[in-house]
Amino acid sequence: MLGIDPGLTRCGVGVVEGLPGRPCTMVAYHVVQTDPGEELPLRLLRLDQELTRLVAEHEPASVAVERVFSQHNVRTVMGTAQASAIAVLAGARVGLPVQTYTPSEVKAAITGSGQADKAQMTSMVTRLLRLDAPPRPADAADALALAICHIWRGGTRSKLAAAADRVRQGGTR
């Protein structure tokens, strides 16, 4: 599963392997950065190229993107909304299912509380993925949390169902 925490200046990407109800394993994380001094078309183009490359590199079964909310700072929300469109498109364009989650859905899935703060989230992600140190920067932890949430919320369910069908039909995998 590939999780994307959208941002125009810093966009977190987390790749996690796992099945619902089982421990997850971190595959990789990345932060795509674009220069705020650069023009918007170049920033969006760079984000598109990097996210498209990471999706092709990791070949996830599906993509989870954090849903943008309007109650945040209105200026930054515009850039975040634009980055989220590019993130959703990077998955949809290659035919992957793309699911969006609100920040509180992700927090609730990871910590049990929709009100968890950044430190609690980072600490839980570090524990859940059995990492030696917290992922840095925080954008990466958020993206990994999204990927874990997506796995636990059944993002892999259709894959499992398909595998179960194959077993029932006498296949080996």
End-to-end alpha-carbon separation of the chain, Å? Answer: 20
Query: At closest approach, how far in Å is the CB of 58 from a second copy?
Result: 18
- Is 5 noted as a catalytic residue in this protein? yes
d(CA 4, CA 31): 10
- 5, 48, 50, 142: the catalytic one is 5
In the bound complex, what is the minimum distance in angstroms from residue 148's beta carbon to a second copy? 21
Q: How many CA atoms lie within 13 A of 84 on its CB side?
A: 19
d(CA 47, CA 117): 27
Binding piece for a second copy, criterion CB under 8 A, among 12-20, 22-30, 77-85, 129-137: 77-85
Cβ atoms of 140 and 129 within 8 Å: the answer is no
Name the catalytic one among 35, 50, 57, 66: 66
Stretch that binds a second copy, among 12-20, 30-38, 39-47, 116-124 (CB under 8 A): 39-47
Write out the binding residues for Mg(2+): 5, 66, 139
